[in-house]
Amino acid sequence: MVKFNQDFTDMFLGVVRKYMQLRGGLSQKDLAVGISVGVSTMSRFLNQKTKDIDAQMIASLVAFLNIPLHEVIDYIEEDSTETFKKMIIFYKESIESKENSESGSENDIESFEQSLDETNSRYKTSATIKGVKVPFGERRAQTSTNLSIRDKLNQLSPRQKGFLTDFLDLDVESRDLIVDIGNQLFRYFKQGQADF
């Protein structure tokens, strides 16, 4: 768990605002979208209206704004420095891979997808299973269940990846507890109710 020195909160927020300006005059909304949090969450954080400090949000902010670590190192407790550096590296890699995938050959992908689209194909196939018509050969044919684990991990947001990092750092009993709670949540979302 990353610990922060509360005495340097104002200094840290000043550095964040400085790099918001240096990176093109980013707004709170730009930051919120960039690190996948709500605008109100970002506003509360920047205006010091939050009681709890979210280490993942701070690390993703530093990574997104590309703030040099020496600018914020006083804000991090000494025994948390290595963990915080790892988190920043993780978020930077996530941002870079997202930018690379977005800036890739989008036009090629779109034209390829259009050629596979059901409206452009010569043959449309469907089956009726228990009264439900199931089309085949559509763009949405590859669901999340067909993806590899690596593809599924690549689709996670930085915040979700940060949760996985924290989860993996726990001891076995704590992980089991989270899994038990998570199973109840999965049942709730799949069935619409949880039996506690």
> SS3 letters for 13-39?
HHHHHHHHHHCCCCCHHHHHHHHCCCH
pTM of this prediction? 0.51
Average pLDDT value for residue range 126-136: 71
Domain covering 6-102, topology: 434 Repressor (Amino-terminal Domain) (1.10.260)
For residues 106 and 180, which has the higher predicted lDDT (pLDDT)?
Answer: 180
Report the alpha-carbon distance of residue 164 to residue 178 in Å, rounded: 11
Residue in the block written with tokens 């969450």: 41
pLDDT digits over 35-74, tens only? 888 888 888 888 888 877 788 888 889 989 988 888 888 8
Domain map (residue ranges) of the chain? 6-102
Residue in the block written with tokens 């989008």: 106
Average pLDDT value for residue range 137-150: 59
Report the alpha-carbon distance of residue 180 to residue 178 in Å, rounded: 5
